[in-house]
Structure 1
Amino acid sequence: MAIKRFLGENYGSLHYIEYVPAWQVLSFTPSSDRKIPAAGIQFYPGYGWQSIYCTRDTMGYRQVQENSVNGESYSHSVVGFVPGDEESVDEGLADLHGRQRYLLRITRPNGLVKIIGTPNEPLEVVQDANTQTTVPGRAGTALTFSGKTLRRALIVTP
């Protein structure tokens, strides 16, 4: 298959990061090895995607292919910076803790939506809270979701 030249803007970063704990996913049905319809992910009643507000231009996604005698695997990393050091921010981040594992839905500036992780291969999260003393506005928490899967991130189709 040929890789076609992209003629538009090639913006980096992400517009949105959304998460759901893996245990809240009722069914996960990709339509192929590379795609999943939006209706292919069903949640238990009362659950669904939760958004994470991050400072603009701090969100990013990286997928690294790894090869071994057993075949391909993929390491994923999604990062973002949640601004603020207020009680409300801390309470919101308390739900994201290391004992749970997550699936992510990311939206690129070009509108492409991808699902990172699966219920059987979810991502873990690490929080790095920091209040810089010399640079105003840098107080907040850096989030890193990471994990390894046997497939690439799935593109969400209508």
Structure 2
Amino acid sequence: MCASSSEKDLYAVLGASPSESTEELRHRYQQLVLQCHPDRLSGRGSSEADVGLKRFLEVDAAWKILSDGNTRRDYDLHRRAHDLKQDWPVDSTVFLDNMAWNNDECLYTHCCRCGGAFIINEEEVQEETQRSTSQEEVETPGGQSRGVIVCCDTCSLSVYVTWTTLPQR
């Protein structure tokens, strides 16, 4: 998938919704192509023709992805994953060392002001540590900083749980 498809909602480009059928998308595509086709706008001013050409290419690219069942499914999955990774409003930062450790369940907890808890298990900490080790990291005076956003199990608040490790030698 090209970079422009991840920047713009392809359904919005066609003025459609994800629930519309391929036939409905085709109808919207055909209407838009008739409005902004370069041949139709060739006699107009150069700036209007340029805008029309850009719009035509955008509509055509969206249609190429959404008209094919496989690429549409891939796009829908990518779109859903992006929606799930939305930025959560972070209430505060909590250091893993300041969280309570439950040895029986192998997880860290921190009380939320609502009475609920922020919970992260040891496996998630290890996975994030391994994942971030393979990526570029920000150096901190005490080592390399790692962290994840953890949501409260009761309310909508979230915290950024962070920890540091010594650099590998």
Band of TM-score, shorter chain? under 0.3
Considering fraction of residues, name the structure with more strand.
Answer: 1
Which of 1 and 2 has greater Rg? 2
Q: Which has the higher contact order (CA 8 A, sep 6+)?
A: 1
Considering fraction of residues, name the structure with more helix.
Answer: 2
Structure-2-length-normalised TM-score: 0.20
